[in-house]
């Protein structure tokens, strides 16, 4: 699929397609929509973002995250900013919050600043309400290249860099079962793209090992150590293993297990996610799945620089997570 095919399928000239790709005011909104609809249908990503070499570049990349106080997001922003500086790019940070309106406003503000490109951190930007939920990203990608870190959407001009969270959780649950664990609880705090993949991995691992998926063992809770502990106290679940979508909830589970006078890992195994500093600030030190955010950040920036230089980049790049064994598991 190339620009000639897009022109033919859209019923317009090649020049018109070029104008649409470059967001030229010479083309009506109706025609723009028709051309972009065809590009979306055929997953065509125009290679038109070689702005970093041009005179119009401001050498600035917009960074967007929902909440910079979140450990994962704060670290990712730091890694991204460091890698961008290696290429001579400054960055502007916007904290959008988690609501749709905040995301749209953050992206609009950055585009108004005439940035060269944009990187969004977190799978919350992948949307969970259908195509309309990501329309603002589709619009943004018609103006600048967009990188989505730790999420995936099929939109031309949006490049997705993520870890294989499904396989990471699937393999971990299989290992827990092989180690003799049958009553495995999954703790999560959101219905984002990333968490959904983790939940699918958890459920499929149980099913593939002949265990029933129990709704009571899928626990939605705040991503907070003490609130996670208190909710488990309230629910009084009987389990012999816990895997959480973030380390904070796993530490909350660890505190709960201590509170009911059970031993870790003899009675209960505990696994977190993200391999944050929390894992070595608790007792016993906690096993966790490393989400590779430093490597993800490096790949995200390297890919973006290639796009800005007019080079071809895959629309989706996925890397494996790593299991970090400490003292809360027996496999």
8 A C-beta contact, residue 151 and residue 125: yes
- More confident: 149 or 1: 149
Starting at the earlier edge strand, list the strands of the sheet with 117-121.
Answer: 90-95, 60-65, 117-121, 146-149, 158-163, 316-319
Q: Please report, rounded to a whole number, the percentage of residues in the chain having pLDDT higher than 90.
A: 79
8 A C-beta contact, residue 318 and residue 151: no
**CATH for the 49-162+294-319 domain, from 1.20.1050.10, 3.40.50.2300, 3.30.230.10, 3.40.630.40:** 3.40.50.2300
pLDDT at residue 48, as a whole number: 46
Q: Which of 282, 216, 217 is nearest to 247 (CA)?
A: 282
Q: How far apart are the first and last CA of the chain?
A: 48
| 3-state SS assignment for residue 143 | coil
Q: What distance in Å separates the CA atoms of residue 187 and residue 106, rounded to the nearest whole number? A: 30
User: Bridge-partner residues for 172, per DSSP?
Assistant: none
- Inter-residue long-range contacts of 8-11, CB under 8 Å, 24+ positions, other chains counted: 9/38, 9/42, 10/34, 10/35, 10/38
pLDDT at residue 44, as a whole number: 78
Q: Could you check whether 1-44 and 165-291 share the same CATH topology?
A: no
Sort 285 into a burial class: Cβ within 10 Å, 0-12 / 13-18 / 19+.
middle
**Mean of the pLDDT values across residues 226-244?**
97
pLDDT at residue 174, as a whole number: 99
- Residues 40, 295, 158: CA angle, nearest 5 degrees: 10
Q: What distance in Å separates the CA atoms of residue 187 and residue 321, rounded to the nearest whole number? A: 19
pLDDT at residue 46, as a whole number: 65
Beta carbons within 8 Å of 85's beta carbon, 6+ residues apart: none
How many Å is the maximal CA-CA distance in the chain? 73
pLDDT at residue 50, as a whole number: 43
Mean pLDDT of the chain: 92
Map out the domains of the chain as residue ranges.
1-44, 49-162+294-319, 165-291
- DSSP code per residue over 315-331: SEEEE--EEE--SS---
Q: Which of 116, 113, 107, 119 is nearest to 55 (CA)?
A: 116
8 A C-beta contact, residue 76 and residue 30: no
pLDDT at residue 248 is higher than 60: yes
pLDDT tens digits, residue range 84-132? Answer: 999 999 999 999 999 999 999 999 999 998 899 999 999 999 876 455 6
pLDDT at residue 25, as a whole number: 80
Task: Categorize the per-residue pLDDT at 133 as very low, low, confident or very high, splitting at 50, 70 and 90.
Answer: confident
**Mean of the pLDDT values across residues 281-307?**
97
- Per CATH, domain 165-291 is 3.40.50.2300: yes
Chain mean position to CA 143: 22
pLDDT at residue 53, as a whole number: 43
pLDDT tens digits, residue range 45-71? Answer: 665 444 444 446 789 999 999 999 999
User: Bridge-partner residues for 147, per DSSP?
Assistant: 119, 159
Beta carbons within 8 Å of 236's beta carbon, 6+ residues apart: none
DSSP state for residue 282 in the 8-state scheme: S
Torsion, CA 265, CA 293, CA 113, CA 24, rounded to 10 = -120
pLDDT at residue 240 is higher than 60: yes
8 A C-beta contact, residue 223 and residue 191: no
Q: What class is the 1-44 domain?
A: mainly alpha
pLDDT at residue 54, as a whole number: 44
Task: Categorize the per-residue pLDDT at 76 as very low, low, confident or very high, splitting at 50, 70 and 90.
Answer: very high
């Amino acid at each position: 699929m190339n620009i000639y095919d897009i022109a033919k399928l859209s019923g317009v000239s090649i020049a018109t397609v070029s104008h649409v790709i470059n967001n030229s005011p010479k083309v009506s909104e109706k025609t723009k929509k028709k051309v972009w609809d065809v590009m979306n249908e055929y997953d065509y990503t125009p290679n038109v973002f070689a702005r970093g070499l041009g005179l119009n570049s401001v050498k600035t990349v917009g960074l967007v995250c929902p909440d910079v106080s979140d450990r994962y997001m704060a670290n990712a922003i730091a890694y991204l900013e460091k890698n961008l500086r290696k290429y001579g790019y400054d960055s502007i940070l916007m904290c959008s919050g988690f609501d749709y309106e905040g995301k749209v406003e953050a992206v609009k503000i950055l585009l108004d600043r005439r940035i060269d490109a944009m990187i969004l951190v977190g799978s919350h930007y992948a949307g969970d309400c259908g195509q309309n939920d990501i329309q603002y990203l589709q619009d943004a990608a018609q103006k600048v290249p967009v990188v989505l870190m730790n999420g995936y959407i099929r939109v031309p001009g949006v490049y997705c860099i993520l870890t294989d969270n499904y396989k990471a959780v699937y393999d971990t649950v299989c290992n827990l079962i092989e180690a003799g664990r049958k009553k495995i609880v999954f703790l999560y705090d959101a219905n984002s793209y990333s968490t959904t993949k983790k939940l699918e991995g958890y459920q499929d691992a149980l099913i593939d090992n002949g265990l029933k998926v129990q709704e009571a063992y899928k626990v939605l809770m705040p991503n907070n150590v003490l609130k996670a502990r208190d909710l488990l106290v309230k629910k009084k679940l009987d389990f012999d293993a816990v895997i959480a979508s973030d380390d904070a909830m796993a530490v909350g589970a660890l505190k709960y297990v201590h509170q009911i006078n059970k031993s870790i890992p003899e009675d209960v195994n505990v696994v977190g996610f993200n391999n944050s500093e929390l894992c070595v600030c608790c007792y016993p030190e906690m096993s966790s799945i490393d989400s590779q955010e430093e490597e993800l950040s490096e790949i995200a920036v390297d890919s973006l620089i290639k796009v800005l230089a007019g080079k071809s980049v895959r629309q989706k790049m996925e890397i494996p997570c790593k299991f970090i064994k400490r003292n809360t598991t027996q496999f």
